[in-house]
Structure 1
Amino acid sequence: MASMAVQLLGFFLGLLGFTGTVVATVLPHWRSTAYVGSNIITATTQMKGLWMECVWHSTGIYQCELYRSLLALPRDLQAARALMVLSCVTSVLASVVSVMGMKCTRFARDSLMKSPLVLSGGICFLCAGLLCLITVSWTTNDVIVEFYHPFLPSGLKYEIGLAVYLGYASACLSLAGGLVLCWSGSADRSRSPLLMQRSQPSSPPPPFNNIYPPAPLYKPPEALKGNHAPSLCSLSSNGYRLNNYV
């Protein structure tokens, strides 16, 4: 029962991390306008994401425009897109494999495949968390380097957006869920050989032939004629044995 609860905890942590990764991938709040220098008082806020660029006006108007050309995008943005999409796909695979391997499901019940499936799901959650963490760390580094660049105009400087912080939280949840599932799968896998040894039947009793000697072979009465020893009482009247003269 405790192992089932641990598996459920790890699965829900990984599922929360997957949900946060999807939301962070879609949101445009990866970079927001930095209010420094001449941008201290402004009527608009510009935000850039992986798929679109948005502008928020002080009047409440919110306008977004998708990136029309994939090849015209910077290489770091293309790489960030690929890593986040790969992280989402890996999380989906991890969720499916974990559901099949959890003890509370009916798939392959009472089978030795349960523990390897849970372990594989935990490894997939770890990979998804690492991919998301690499992407948000890379974006954070680029934003910080550009912000402190001395020759870059103030209007081109950005700050870290909310989607990046959401990506950090999602990566930590995915990593935590993967670690819990891996620990649960490895514990169940190490416990399964002991259960197999306990479930094996005891050694059978010794065979019947080793306790009692085998019975003699059956012989017909005809085969026993003439096979008996001569009797001591078969004597003649003179005291000599009769079979000496017959």
Structure 2
Amino acid sequence: MHKYNHQPQHNDLSKMMVFLTTKMMQRTALFVTFGGFVTSLTTTFLPLWKTMNSDLNEVENWFSGLWLTCLYTEEVGIQCKAYDSILGLPMDLQVSRVLMSVSICTGGLSVLAAFPGLEGVEVCVEQPAMKRGLLILSGVLSWVSGLTTLAPVSIVAYTTVVEFWDEGFPDVMPRWEYGEAMFSGWFGGLALAIGGTLFFVAVCMGDFDQRPPSVQSSPQLKHRTRHYLKTELL
């Protein structure tokens, strides 16, 4: 007769459940969303969406963003100039400007709406439904912000690839390539989408914690969480 003690596994599960509380999940969602918002905001104004250099003149590097175009030379350094006309911009840059502006607004509102909805924040303490609604609103806004960040970055990336492989341009003509801001935009958009998802997970965890005691103490739940010694006869 052999006895198998499952106490170590139970202890590990208990530690994990203590760490993954509703409060911790809410703060994780807020942290991820705020990080994505800051990254998206920085990406919007960086003139590094596209880069270009020529094999004929290697000392010049061109950088292009949504608002500025810059030229870097070793003698002068970096010089930036705003676009002369909005209507004269390519359609992908015009659309990207609008979408990134929407992303900044919705991302900032998501962070602001989430803060009073957190557990432990002395706002709307006697109104749990209000706190729950604020977290749901934050999740929706974070998702919108993430999508409106991923969309313009992907649009500019697509047009850059199409123009790069356009056979109508001479081979000696320099062409635009991906800049660092493209990758930071993808990272920020994904972070915002993940943060919105974590807000929804936090809401579901809060609903689970607030269930009636009769539901929480169901036989099936007790069977999953109780500590026991399993004896198996070989």
TM range (shorter): 0.7 to 0.9
Retained in 2: the 8 A contact 1:29–1:163?
Answer: yes
- How far is the alpha carbon of 1:110 from its aligned partner? 3.4
**Residue 205 (structure 2) pairs with residue 174 (structure 1):** no
Task: Say whether the 8 Å CA contact 1:16–1:170 is kept in structure 2.
Answer: yes
Please list the CA deviations of residues 88-129 of structure 1 after superposition, one character each: whole Å capped at 9, or x if unmatched: 000011011111211121110132211121111011111100
TM-score, normalising length from structure 2? 0.77
Distance in 2, Cα, partners of 1:101 & 1:71: 42
Amino acid at match of 1:139: V
SS at match of 2:173: helix
Percent of paired sites with the same residue: 25
Could you tell me which runs of 5 or more consecutive residues in structure 2 were left unpaired when the two chains were aligned: 1-17, 217-234
> Equivalents in 1 of 2:105, 2:24: separation in Å?
26
Which residue identity lines up with residue 59 of structure 2 in the other structure? Answer: A
**Would the aligned equivalents of 2:142 and 2:192 in 1 still touch at CA under 8 Å?**
yes
Unaligned stretches of 5+ in structure 1?
A: 199-246
Number of residue equivalences? 195
- 2:44 pairs with 1:25: yes
RMSD of equivalent CA atoms: 2.0
Aligned 8 A contact 1:34 1:159 in 2? no
Provide the TM-score with structure 1 as the length reference: 0.74
1:125 paired residue number = 142
**What is aligned with 2:159?**
142
Of the three residues 7, 10, 29, the one matched with 1:10 is: 29
Query: What does 1:156-195 align with in structure 2 at a 5 Å threshold?
Result: 156-189=174-207, 191-192=209-210, 194=212
What is the 5 A alignment of 1:25-104?
Answer: 25-35=44-54, 39=55, 42-59=58-75, 61-104=77-120
User: Residue by residue, what CA displacement relative to the aligned partner does 1:179-222 show, whole Å, maximum 9, x if unpaired?
Assistant: 10111113323544537x99xxxxxxxxxxxxxxxxxxxxxxxx
Give the superposition deviation at 1:45: 0.3
3-state SS of 1:113 partner: helix
Conserved in 2, the CA contact under 8 Å of 1:115 and 1:189?
A: no
Match of 1:32, as an amino acid?
T
Contact 2:53–2:62 (CA under 8 A) maintained in structure 1: no
Letter in 2 for 1:109: V
Distance in 1 between the 2:173 and 2:118 partners?
52
- CA distance in structure 1 between the partners assigned to 2:111 and 2:198 by the alignment: 14
For 1:190 and 1:15, the matched residues in 2 are separated by 26
Q: Distance in 2 between matches of 1:138 and 1:77?
A: 9
